[in-house]
Amino acid sequence: MKKRALLGSIALAGLIATAGCNSRADEEQPATAETQAPAAAETTEAAAMSQEPEVEPNGNIIEIQMLTRDPDGSGLQVFKPRLITAQVGDTIRFIPTDPTHQSSSIEGMVPDGARGWEGEINEPVDYVVPVPGIYGYKCVPHYAAGMVGLIIVEGDGMTDNLESARETSHPGLAGGKFEEIFDQAQSEGMLGS
Which part of the chain contacts Cu ion (CB under 5 A), choosing from 15-23, 37-45, 70-78, 122-130? 70-78
Here's the x/- map for Cu ion, 75-104, by CB under 5 A: it reads as --x-----------------------x---
- Give the separation between CA 175 and CA 12, rounded to whole angstroms: 44
Cβ closest to Cu ion, residue 134 vs residue 147:
147
Q: Which long-range contacts link 57-62 to residues 24+ away (Cβ below 8 Å)?
A: 57/89, 57/90, 57/91, 57/128, 58/87, 58/88, 58/89, 58/90, 59/91, 60/87, 60/89, 60/90, 60/91, 61/90, 61/91, 61/93, 61/126, 62/86, 62/90, 62/91, 62/92, 62/93
- Give the separation between CA 155 and CA 88, rounded to whole angstroms: 8
Does residue 146 come out as left (phi exceeding 0), alpha (psi in the -120 to 50 range) or beta? left
Which part of the chain contacts Cu ion (CB under 5 A), choosing from 9-17, 81-89, 127-135, 142-150? 142-150
193: Cα within 13 Å, side-chain hemisphere: 0
Judged by CB under 5 A, the residue of 139, 144, 151, 185 near Cu ion is 139
Peptide bond before residue 81 is cis, with ω within 30 degrees of 0: yes
Q: How far is the CB of 147 from Cu ion (least distance, A)?
A: 4
Q: How far is the CB of 143 from Cu ion (least distance, A)?
A: 8
Judged by CB under 5 A, the residue of 138, 142, 170, 177 near Cu ion is 142
Cβ closest to Cu ion, residue 151 vs residue 158:
151
Tell me the number of residues near Cu ion by CB under 5 A. 5
Beta bridge partners of 125: 94
Cβ closest to Cu ion, residue 69 vs residue 166:
69
Give, as ranges, the residues between 100 and 129 that touch Cu ion (CB under 5 A).
101
Is 190 a known ligand-binding residue? no
Q: How far is the CB of 171 from Cu ion (least distance, A)?
A: 14
Binding site for Cu ion (CB under 5 A): 77, 101, 139, 142, 147
Binding residues: 101, 139, 142, 147
